[in-house]
Amino acid sequence: MKSKDNVNITLLFLSISDLMFVLIRSDSFVLALLMAAGGDGSSQLVIPLKAELVMICTNFLGYVFYDYSTFVSVFLATVRCACVARPLKFKSMFTRSRTVLILGVLFFVAMMQNCSLLIILKLTRAVNPNPYSTPRKVALTDNYQNALKVTDILNEIIIAWFNYITVVTCVIILTSKLQAASKFRRSLASTGGSEKEVRTLAQTSGLATSRDPSSHHSKSSEGNDKSSGKMSTKEVQVIQSVTLICVIFIFSQLPEQVGSTLRMIDSMSYDTPPFINAFGFGLIRTLNYLNASVNIFVHFRFNSNDGDDDDDDDDDDDDDDDDDDNDDDDDGNVLKVHESNMMKYSIVDHIR
């Protein structure tokens, strides 16, 4: 199974999750930004029950897809890092069905992680001067502060920092592998030899490429190519795309990670002036939307390069087949010359 299959599936799930996050949270983002800038006066807004329930559901689903995108990014970085570090052990482990299953489990985990947003809510009777109508409204439970503290420590500190550190570690490993591959290619290019000489040099150096012609004839040579650790052009492009997504994730998540940690360390940071609170909230959410939007374009670009690489590989395979045909033709010509010489010798012997 090709490594790009798993990456394509993971990027597809990531793009869908990012798109759902942007669509669901775009309307509530504007309202939440106005409420953050309005201070305490925003709490006096009267919102109908149906509209309030819709906002609660959209907030819940928005956070679910946001956390799910985070989990998918971490999974993508971890799998690619494992496949690069131990290719023989992990490349055959993450099959297409297992990848889809893991992505489904991660979505369930993201939903369970945000259930606290619904547990702390309850329906109560609203105060109404009209005695003939008692409308309902959504309110917080009595122990919502304790529940929020527990969930904030679990979600915004433990899980969030674990994901962040994991992605940073994977980026360091993937970057080192890219540098090693680039250095090896430059060393081969500096020799100035032909393609066959480059392949010969790669074999003698223990870094045989995946385009080694001997892999078409011998299974043992194919195993040696895989165990040598040399990355093909496709694998390098896969690592580049995954590294780009991880770097975008790191920079977009850094302000939120710092802000969440500061709020946990100093509870007085909740009492900041409204304009500062609005600026920080706007910056964090803008980076979240930017991260989600850029990931979609990375997925599109990755698939475009995938098609071009397949065409190039087909051309290379055709060239290899032409070379084999030419070799066969040369062997056939030599055989025909040999047979014609034998016929001449036979005729001469018969005449004699």
Over 60: is that where the pLDDT of 214 sits? no
Q: Give the closest residue to 74 by CA, choosing from 154, 166, 177, 171.
A: 166
- Mean pLDDT in residue range 86-94: 79
Give the model's pLDDT for residue 338: 46
Q: Is 137 helix (H, G, I), strand (E, B) or coil?
A: strand
Q: Check: pTM over 0.85? Answer yes or no.
A: no
Give the model's pLDDT for residue 49: 56
Residue for token pair 């599936």? 9
- Mean pLDDT in residue range 25-48: 57
Is residue 314 a contact partner of residue 41, using CB atoms and an 8 Å limit?
no
- Mean pLDDT in residue range 37-64: 64
Task: Give percent of the chain above pLDDT 90.
Answer: 12
Over 50: is that where the pLDDT of 13 sits? yes
pLDDT, tens digit (0-9, with 9 covering 90-100), for 250-268:
998 888 888 888 777 765 4
Over 70: is that where the pLDDT of 216 sits? no
Using CA atoms of 312, 318, 320, 323 in order, give the dihedral in degrees to the nearest 10. Answer: -140
Sign of CA dihedral 36, 40, 42, 47: positive
Average pLDDT of the residues of the chain = 70
Over 70: is that where the pLDDT of 224 sits? no
3 state SS for 254-318: HHHHHHHHHHHHCHHHHHCCHHHHHHHHHHHHHHHHHHHHHHHHHHHHHHHHHHHHHHHHHHHHH
Assign 345 a pLDDT band (cuts: 50, 70, 90).
very low
pLDDT, tens digit (0-9, with 9 covering 90-100), for 104-163:
999 999 998 888 777 777 666 666 555 555 566 666 677 777 777 788 888 888 999 999
Is residue 51 a contact partner of residue 59, using CB atoms and an 8 Å limit?
no
Assign 204 a pLDDT band (cuts: 50, 70, 90).
very low
Give the model's pLDDT for residue 78: 92
Q: Give the closest residue to 258 by CA, choosing from 283, 291, 278.
A: 283
Higher-confidence position of 249 and 313: 249
Give the model's pLDDT for residue 348: 38
Q: Give the closest residue to 224 by CA, choosing from 241, 210, 234, 238.
A: 210
